[in-house]
Amino acid sequence: MNNHNHLHKYIRIIPIIGLLFFLVLIIYAYQHGIFRSTTSLQRFIQQFGEYAVVIFILLQIIQVIIPILPGGISSVAGLLMFGNGWGLLYSCIGLIIGEAIGFLLVRYYGVSFVQLILSPKKYQKFDQLLTQKTKDIKKVLCLTMLIPFAPDDLVCLVAGLTKISFKEYIQIVLLLKPWSVGAYSLIMLYLFQKAQGNF
Identify whether 4 is part of a domain.
no
Q: Report residue 20's pLDDT band, with 50, 70 and 90 as the boundaries.
A: low
Give the amino acid at 177.
Answer: K
Whether residue 63 is contained in a domain is answered as yes
pLDDT, tens digit, 9 for 90 and up, residues 59-82: 888 888 776 665 567 787 888 888
Closest of 74, 50, 52 to residue 62, by C-alpha: 74
Residue 17 lies in a domain: no
Q: How many CA atoms lie within 13 A of 134 on its CB side?
A: 11
In a domain? residue 155: yes
- Stretch 17-45: mean pLDDT: 65
Question: Would residue 12 count as lying in a domain?
Answer: no
Q: Cα 153–114–24 angle (5° rounding)?
A: 95
Q: Would the pTM of this model clear 0.85, i.e. be above it?
A: no
Q: 182 exposed, middle or buried (CB, 10 Å; 0-12, 13-18, 19+)?
A: middle
- Spell out the residues 6+ positions from residue 39 whose beta carbon is closer than 8 angstroms to its own: none
Average pLDDT over residues 88-105: 91
What mean pLDDT, rounded, does the chain reach?
77
- How far, in Å, are 52, 73, 138, 172 from residue 160 at the CA level? 31, 26, 12, 13
CB-based contacts of 53: which residues, under 8 Å, 6+ apart?
82, 90
pLDDT of residue 90: 93
pLDDT at position 173, please? 92
- CB atoms inside a 10 Å sphere around CB 133: 18
Range of the domain at 86: 33-196
> Does residue 187 lie in a domain region?
yes
Percentages helix, strand, coil for the chain, rounded to the nearest 5? Answer: 80, 0, 20
Q: Report the alpha-carbon distance of residue 126 to residue 135 in Å, rounded.
A: 15
Please tell me which residue, 113 or 103, carries the higher pLDDT value: 103
Residue 66 lies in a domain: yes
Q: How far apart are CA 197 and CA 199, in angstroms?
A: 6
Do the domain assignments include residue 14? no
12 vs 127, which has greater pLDDT?
127
The pLDDT tens digits of the residues spanning 172-187 come to: 999 998 888 888 888 8
pLDDT for res 60: 86
What's the rounded mean pLDDT across residues 107-123?
80
Q: Looking at the 3D structure of the chain, how many domains does it have?
A: 1
